[in-house]
């Protein structure tokens, strides 16, 4: 879990607290920094997550940024997000989009999330190189369903840029525009987790600097 803080004269409070709510995932992405797949035995229980939300309420109600693994594989995800809403704690979620259907999209919209980010790691061939055959169409369909039903949250795409997909960044930005999402984030593959075993994906520093920046629809993060 990590947090971002705002500091002033004599005071400090978190503005964003990030938690990977589970390592369980339906995919086995070749660049996954947490090597997600199976759930950890020591993951926080529902009661512990409720306690975290209550602490955030007392700490100034920073945004709770939920990632994974795949958050939608936790049966208590919506209960945790509902607890956050009741406590006035903003929530954002990162997902691979594959489990998204109309029912899930409607529930997400009802919870008034601040943002929903879906991972797209290239056009079809390169996305499926790292995420698995058949995953691209399911992810795009998930984004389309979210775009149809989500009115309360910003819908974003996140691209983990690697040696194979870096040349597709302009096309991915155009894809984001066609899908009607709010923004696209371009982040380099980090030398952690499964990426260490798939180092052909890693970018040199020169290539990291070549990630498109200043384009009308996207922004770069390192």
Q: What is the mean pLDDT of residues 209-219?
A: 60
Distance of alpha carbon 20 from alpha carbon 93, whole angstroms = 10
Q: What is the pLDDT of residue 211?
A: 86
Predicted confidence (pLDDT) per residue in 79-97, tens digit: 999 999 999 999 999 999 9
| 20 close to 69: Cβ distance less than 8 angstroms | yes
Say if residue 217's pLDDT is above 60. Answer: no
pTM score of the predicted model: 0.90
Percent of the chain with pLDDT over 70: 90
Per DSSP, the three-state class of 209 is: helix
Structural Rg of the chain based on CA atoms: 17
Distance of alpha carbon 143 from alpha carbon 54, whole angstroms = 31
Q: What is the pLDDT of residue 41?
A: 94
Task: Name the average pLDDT for the chain.
Answer: 92
Distance of alpha carbon 78 from alpha carbon 56, whole angstroms = 17
Instruction: Kindly list the strands in the beta sheet with 183-188, ordered across the sheet, starting from the edge strand earlier in the chain.
Output: 2-7, 12-20, 63-67, 91-95, 115-119, 154-161, 183-188, 218-220
Say if residue 218's pLDDT is above 60. Answer: no
pLDDT band at 14 (very low <50, low <70, confident <90, very high): confident
Identify the structural domains of the chain with CATH numbers, from first to last: 13-220 (3.20.20.70)
Q: What is the mean pLDDT of residues 177-185?
A: 96
pLDDT band at 7 (very low <50, low <70, confident <90, very high): very low
Q: Please, what sign has the CA dihedral across residues 130, 109, 81, 58?
A: positive
Distance of alpha carbon 12 from alpha carbon 32, whole angstroms = 32
């Amino acid at each position: 879990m990590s947090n971002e803080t705002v500091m002033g004269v004599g005071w400090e409070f978190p503005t964003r607290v990030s938690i990977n709510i589970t390592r369980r995932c339906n995919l086995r992405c070749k660049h996954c920094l947490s090597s997600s797949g199976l759930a950890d035995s020591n993951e926080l229980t529902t009661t512990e997550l409720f306690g975290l939300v209550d602490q955030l309420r007392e700490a100034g109600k920073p945004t709770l940024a939920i990632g994974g693994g795949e958050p939608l594989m936790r049966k208590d995800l919506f209960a945790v997000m509902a607890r956050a809403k009741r406590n006035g704690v903003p929530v954002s979620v990162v997902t691979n989009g594959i489990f998204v259907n109309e029912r899930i999209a409607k529930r997400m919209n009802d919870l008034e999330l601040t943002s929903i980010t879906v991972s797209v790691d290239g056009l079809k061939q390169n996305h499926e190189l790292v995420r698995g055959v058949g995953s691209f169409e399911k992810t795009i369909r998930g984004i389309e369903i979210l775009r149809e039903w989500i009115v309360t949250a910003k819908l974003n795409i996140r691209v983990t840029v690697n040696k194979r997909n870096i040349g597709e960044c302009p096309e991915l930005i155009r894809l984001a525009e066609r899908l009607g999402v709010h923004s696209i984030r371009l982040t380099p593959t980090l030398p952690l987790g499964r990426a260490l075993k798939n180092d052909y994906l890693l970018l040199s520093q020169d290539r990291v600097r070549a990630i498109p920046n200043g384009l009308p629809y996207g922004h770069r993060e390192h």
